């Protein structure tokens, strides 16, 4: 067993931290999330130069053959620095293409994505469905040599800046919920596609993507008709894990902020960190974060070893979701009233933790997944 | 043992409900947030509702419903249970009648105020004419209120106040400050503070808005620069302010938006019962049922605590441990309710008021933010735990 990172991983982690700390003081985070795009092109391009978008993809397609664990380290630092933007959605879309696409499709789409020239997102969840990946209605029908998509997707991240979306539709009925799904690549400017922002309190750019009789050629199908389910499942799971890593990073940063304050703020002639009630909060934060972090690393390691990882991912995301929310709530509690102001930074972490739990399946959903993996 | 309201009380409840249905504008319930247990989205401190709120409170006052617990000689009915009937319904309708004046200032004045003070202030408060804000916390004095630095120096018939208050909820829509300042810097901290009422219009008071994380202007910073206060405005005795403040805090802790919890919970239950996800309602999901049932337990406990404390007061028993327990329980439930709402609503819970697909006008998203405030204000949960354990249960203070 080995619970240490490699030399290279430590260097990667440190350089990610240095880069993000420099680029994203919290004032800049606020500016960016208040803007329409919700991310910074400048920072995005720098991340591309660092090779982050390409990290997880094979060299054949312009990537760096990196490990999930490496990506997790970067995402943890992104979470710690509240880095907003379509990085994870883009990587997730790329992973779906990698898993499902034909050779031509992979060669055609992935190099640009790996180079950071593409922003993309998976449009999966339909309104009023249980769980993020429940597709019960037929969303696309064959018409001549074309396909016509008629569906609505919700909570599509950063759809408004995506170059293309992967719209996942049920094209055939099947008892197996993962069978009969087709992945369509849809350019953002395609006629019939309307994006509506879903304003929210979590500081995320989320969209409804309505596909109203969107006509696509057969070439828009990524991989095989009716066979996109497993690839989407896989990409989705890995995005969930990535989000879990961000949550852990954010939780740690929130805890660190609160720790510093607890050492400095004096009431009753002693630092508030000397009170047992406050100390218990920090001990609780520590327990939650360490546990969640380990589960995230473990799940990433399983992916990298080619081991079945669905249960590990579900447990990691379930725990991370709960951890982020609890830690940031406690962070607010330590700072007390001052953190109830817009001006203070704790609510940025509080919102991020919430958004993280709710994305790619919240804790309750993940525990249902885990229950199924337990054979129940 | 009897858990039912008597005939009189039931009659009052019916009257109050009819009044609220008539007086509140249509759509009010959805228009305001008024998250139960939160201090950041209260309907009665929002500027946009100020005119309505003042008018509404006068009407409530005309009914005698601000002062039901007071002794008859001050226009009351000696019934805190009847006041609880009113308060429960006011919060059930999210009505803007949760004023510091009647909830905190009046009971304190009744207990420690001079006869002159009672004569001067109680009728106005009973009439719903006066709005107060609490001048307690300062940037360096939160939980440690005894350490406040705002000073009040005697000058003839007046006190001259200098300093700064913070987290001053509603100062911008109030008439008077209910404020503590240091009158004897030589005395031990707890023995040199005085509680007083200050007219907001007094020269030298500057109110600066603070925006809370809900995006609402609810509280403020207030700067006091040579503010002259008549000595007649001192509540209770000079230099006894800390103890009078502790008494006021007891009353503050008894304020629990029981009706508001019930209303928000009902809305969530109805939503679960009616909303179909993938061909079945949320309410058919075992997990959702369990979470809602768990909340039902808590709300029942809260209601019991609330009614019992009111009943205790009617029977000459002072709620002490019970007041801290009520505050602690209610405010932690405020967070739990928001959190459970988030769990049940999933990604829909984070949507804002105007967003497409938002359930229940985005209430739970705002509640998730506002619920940060409950366990912090009016004495943090950590303080309440300590009060319960030491003053309540007698454990050593250490």
pLDDT band at A132 (very low <50, low <70, confident <90, very high): confident
* The predicted structure's pLDDT at residue A131: 75
Q: Do B380 and A333 touch (CB under 8 A)?
A: yes
Tokens of B73: 């000689």
Residues of chain A contacting B362 with CB distance shorter than 8 Å = 201
Q: In 3D, which of A148, A157, A151 has the Cα closest to residue A128?
A: A151
Q: Which residues of B178-208 are buried (b: 16+ CB within 10 A; e: fewer)?
A: bbbbbbbeeeeebebbbbbbbebebeebebe
pLDDT tens, residue by residue, A11-65: 999 999 999 999 999 999 999 999 999 999 999 999 999 999 999 999 999 999 9
Is the CB of A199 less than 8 angstroms away from the CB of B352?
A: yes
Test the B interface: residue of A336, A344, A351 with most B CBs within 10 Å: A336
Q: Cα(first)–Cα(last) distance of chain B, in Å?
A: 39
Q: Indicate if the pLDDT at residue A341 is higher than 90.
A: yes
Residue entry with tokens 């440690």: B144
Residue of B nearest to A346 (CA): B213
In DSSP terms, B220 is beta-bridged to B209
| Adjacent-strand bridge partners of B179 | B135, B196
pLDDT digits (tens, 9 = 90+) for B92-144: 999 999 889 999 999 999 999 999 999 999 999 999 999 999 999 999 999 99
Nearest to B135 by CA among B34, B205, B44, B236: B205
Q: Which of residues 242-301 of B touch A (CB under 8 A)?
A: 275-279, 285, 287
The β-bridge relationship of strands A164-170 and A120-123 is parallel
Q: Of the candidates B147, B380, B386, which has its C-beta nearest A336's C-beta?
A: B380
Instruction: Give this prediction's pTM.
Output: 0.96
B368 Cβ under 8 Å from any chain A Cβ: yes
Residues of B with catalytic function: 252
Helix (H) or strand (E) holding B195, with range, is strand B193-199
Report d(CA A356, CA A344) in Å as an integer. 20
Has residue A110 got a pLDDT over 90?
yes
Supply the pLDDT for residue B45.
Answer: 87
Measured between beta carbons, the chain A residues lying within 8 angstroms of B333 are none
With beta carbons under 8 A apart, name residues in chain B contacting A196.
356
Q: State how far the Cα of A251 lies from the Cα of A364, in Å rounded to an integer.
A: 19
C-alpha to C-alpha distance for B343 and A17, rounded to whole angstroms: 32
Contacts of A280 (CB under 8 A, 6+ apart): none
Q: What percent of chain A has pLDDT over 70?
A: 100
Tell me, what's the pLDDT at B257?
81
Min Cα distance B145 → chain A (Å) is 9
A341 contacts in B (CB within 8 Å)?
A: 210-213
Cβ-contact A211, A151 below 8 angstroms: yes
Terminal Cα-to-Cα distance of chain A (whole angstroms):
30
Element (H or E) spanning B277, and its range? strand B276-277
A308 pLDDT tier (thresholds 50, 70, 90): very high
Name the strand (E) or helix (H) holding B164. strand B158-166
- Residues A286-298 pLDDT 10s: 999 999 999 999 9
Residue in B closest to A342 by C-alpha:
B213
CB A365 within 8 A of CB A131: yes
Longest Cα pair distance anywhere in chain A, in angstroms? 79
The H or E element containing residue B177 is strand B176-182
Rounded Cα distance, A315 and B273, in Å: 29
In angstroms, the CA B96 to CA B109 distance is 23
CB contact under 8 A, A358 and B385: no
Contact present, B171 and B177 (Cβ < 8 Å): yes
Q: For residue B153, count CB atoms less than 10 angstroms from its CB and return exposed for 0-12, middle for 13-18, buried for 19 or more.
A: middle
A305 vs chain B: nearest CA distance in angstroms? 32
Of B277, B376, B385, the CB nearest to A337: B376
Q: Which candidate from B167, B339, B355 shows the least CB-CB separation from A337? A: B167
Q: Which of A3, A4, A20, A106 is nearest to A58 (CA)?
A: A106
Contact A362 B346 (CB under 8 A): yes
Residue B81 is predicted with a pLDDT of 96
Q: What percent of chain B is modeled with pLDDT above 90?
A: 95
What distance in Å separates the CA atoms of residue A18 and residue B299, rounded to the nearest whole number? 48
Q: Say what the pLDDT of residue A370 is.
A: 97
* B376/A198 touch (CB, cutoff 8 Å), yes or no: no
Return d(Cα A151, Cα A217) in angstroms, integer.
Answer: 17
| E strand segments, chain A | 120-123, 140-143, 146-157, 164-170, 181-187, 193-197, 206-216, 221-222, 266-267, 270-271
Contact status of B382 with chain A (Cβ, < 8 Å)? yes
- How high is the pLDDT of residue A130? 79
Cα distances (Å, whole numbers) of residue B108 to A144, B133, B144, B193: 81, 14, 21, 16
A57, two tokens: 């993809």
Structural tokens at position A51: 């090779």
Separation CA B115–CA B108 (nearest Å):
13
pLDDT by 10s per residue, chain B, length 398: 999 999 999 999 999 999 999 999 999 999 999 999 999 999 888 889 999 999 999 999 999 999 999 999 999 999 999 999 999 999 999 999 988 999 999 999 999 999 999 999 999 999 999 999 999 999 999 999 999 999 999 999 999 999 999 999 999 999 999 999 999 999 999 999 999 999 999 999 999 999 999 999 999 999 999 999 999 999 999 999 999 999 999 999 998 889 999 999 999 999 999 999 988 999 999 999 999 999 999 999 999 999 999 999 999 999 999 999 999 999 999 999 999 999 999 999 999 999 999 999 999 999 999 999 999 999 999 999 999 999 999 999 87
Q: What is residue B46's predicted lDDT score, i.e. its pLDDT?
A: 87
**Alpha carbon B121 to its chain's center:** 20
Instruction: Using CB atoms, pick whichever of B210, B350, B377 lies closest to residue A354.
Output: B350
Give the residue-averaged pLDDT of A248-273.
98
Question: CB neighbours (10 Å) of residue A128?
Answer: 15
Q: Check residue A154 and give its pLDDT.
A: 97
Q: Which of A133-137, A250-254, A276-280, B28-32 has the lowest mean pLDDT?
A: A133-137
Q: Could you count the other beta carbons within 10 Å of the beta carbon of residue B58?
A: 13
For residues A276-304, give the mean pLDDT.
98
Cα A186 to chain centroid distance, Å, stands at 21
Residue of B242, B341, B313 lying closest to B38 (CA atoms): B341
């Amino acid at each position: 067993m080995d619970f240490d990172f490699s030399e290279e991983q430590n260097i990667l982690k440190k350089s990610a931290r240095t880069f993000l700390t420099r680029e994203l003081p919290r004032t800049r985070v606020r500016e960016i999330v208040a803007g329409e795009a919700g991310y910074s092109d400048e920072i995005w391009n720098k991340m591309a130069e660092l090779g982050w978008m390409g990290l997880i993809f094979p060299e054949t397609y312009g990537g760096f053959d990196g490990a999930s664990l490496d990506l997790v380290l970067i995402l943890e630092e992104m979470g710690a620095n509240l880095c907003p933007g379509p990085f994870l959605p883009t990587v997730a879309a790329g992973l779906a293409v990698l898993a499902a696409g034909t050779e031509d499709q992979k060669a055609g789409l992935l190099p640009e994505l790996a180079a950071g020239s593409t922003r993309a997102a998976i449009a999966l969840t339909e309104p009023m469905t249980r769980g993020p990946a429940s597709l019960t209605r037929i969303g696309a029908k064959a018409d001549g040599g074309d396909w016509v998509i008629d569906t609505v997707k919700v909570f599509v991240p950063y759809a408004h800046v995506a170059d293309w979306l992967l719209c996942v539709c049920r094209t055939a009925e099947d008892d197996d919920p993962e069978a009969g799904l087709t992945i369509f690549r849809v350019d953002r400017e395609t006629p019939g596609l309307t994006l509506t922002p879903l304003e929210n309190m979590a500081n995320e750019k989320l969209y409804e993507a309505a596909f109203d009789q969107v006509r696509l050629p057969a070439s828009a199908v990524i991989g095989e008709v009716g066979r996109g389910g497993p690839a989407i499942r896989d990409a989705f799971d890995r995005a969930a894990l990535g989000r879990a890593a961000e949550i852990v990073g954010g939780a740690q940063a929130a805890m660190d902020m609160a720790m510093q304050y607890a050492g400095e703020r004096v009431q009753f002639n002693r630092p508030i960190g000397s009170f047992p009630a406050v100390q218990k909060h920090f001990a609780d934060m520590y327990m939650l974060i360490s546990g969640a972090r380990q589960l995230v690393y473990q799940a990433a390691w399983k992916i990298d070893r080619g081991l079945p990882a669905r249960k590990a991912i579900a447990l990691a995301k379930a725990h991370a979701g709960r951890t982020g929310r609890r830690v940031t709530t406690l962070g607010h509690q330590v700072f007390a009233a001052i953190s109830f102001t817009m001006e203070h930074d704790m609510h940025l972490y509080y919102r991020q933790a919430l958004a993280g739990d709710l994305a790619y399946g919240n804790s309750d959903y993940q525990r249902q997944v885990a229950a199924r993996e337990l054979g129940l | 043992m009897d858990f039912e309201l008597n005939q009189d009380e039931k009659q009052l409840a019916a009257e109050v409900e009819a009044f609220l249905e008539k007086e509140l504008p249509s759509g009010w319930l959805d228009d305001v947030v008024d998250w139960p247990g939160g201090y950041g989205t209260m309907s009665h401190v929002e500027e946009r509702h100020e005119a309505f709120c003042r008018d509404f409170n006068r009407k409530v006052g005309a009914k005698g419903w601000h002062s039901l617990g007071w002794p008859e000689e001050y226009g009351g009915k000696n019934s805190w249970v009847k006041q609880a009937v009113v308060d429960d319904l006011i919060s059930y309708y999210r009505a803007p009648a949760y004023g510091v004046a009647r909830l905190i200032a009046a009971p304190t004045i009744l207990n420690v105020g001079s006869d002159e003070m009672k004569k001067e202030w109680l009728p106005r408060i009973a009439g719903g004419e006066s709005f107060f804000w609490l001048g307690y916390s300062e940037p360096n004095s939160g939980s440690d209120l005894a350490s406040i630095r705002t000073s009040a120096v005697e000058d003839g018939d007046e006190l001259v106040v200098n300093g700064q208050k913070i987290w001053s909820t509603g100062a911008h829509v109030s008439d008077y400050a209910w404020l503590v300042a240091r009158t004897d810097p030589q005395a031990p901290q707890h023995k040199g503070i005085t509680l007083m009422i200050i007219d907001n219009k007094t020269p030298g008071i500057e109110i600066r808005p603070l925006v809370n994380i809900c995006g609402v202007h609810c509280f403020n910073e207030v700067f006091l620069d040579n503010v002259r206060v008549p000595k007649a405005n001192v509540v209770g005795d000079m230099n006894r302010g800390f103890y009078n403040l502790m008494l006021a805090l007891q009353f503050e802790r008894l304020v629990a938006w029981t009706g508001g919890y019930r209303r928000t919970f009902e809305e969530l239950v109805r939503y679960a019962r009616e909303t179909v996800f993938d061909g079945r309602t949320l309410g058919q999901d075992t997990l959702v049922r369990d979470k809602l049932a768990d909340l039902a337990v808590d709300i029942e406990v809260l209601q019991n605590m609330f009614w019992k404390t009111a009943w205790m007061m009617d029977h000459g028993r002072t709620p002490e441990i019970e007041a801290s327990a009520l505050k602690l329980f209610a405010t932690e439930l405020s967070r739990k309710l928001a959190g459970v709402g988030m769990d049940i609503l999933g990604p829909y819970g984070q949507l804002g008021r105007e967003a497409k697909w938002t359930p229940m006008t985005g209430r739970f998203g705002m509640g998730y933010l506002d619920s940060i405030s409950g366990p912090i204000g009016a004495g943090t949960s950590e303080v309440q735990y300590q009060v319960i354990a030491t003053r309540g249960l007698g454990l050593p203070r250490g």
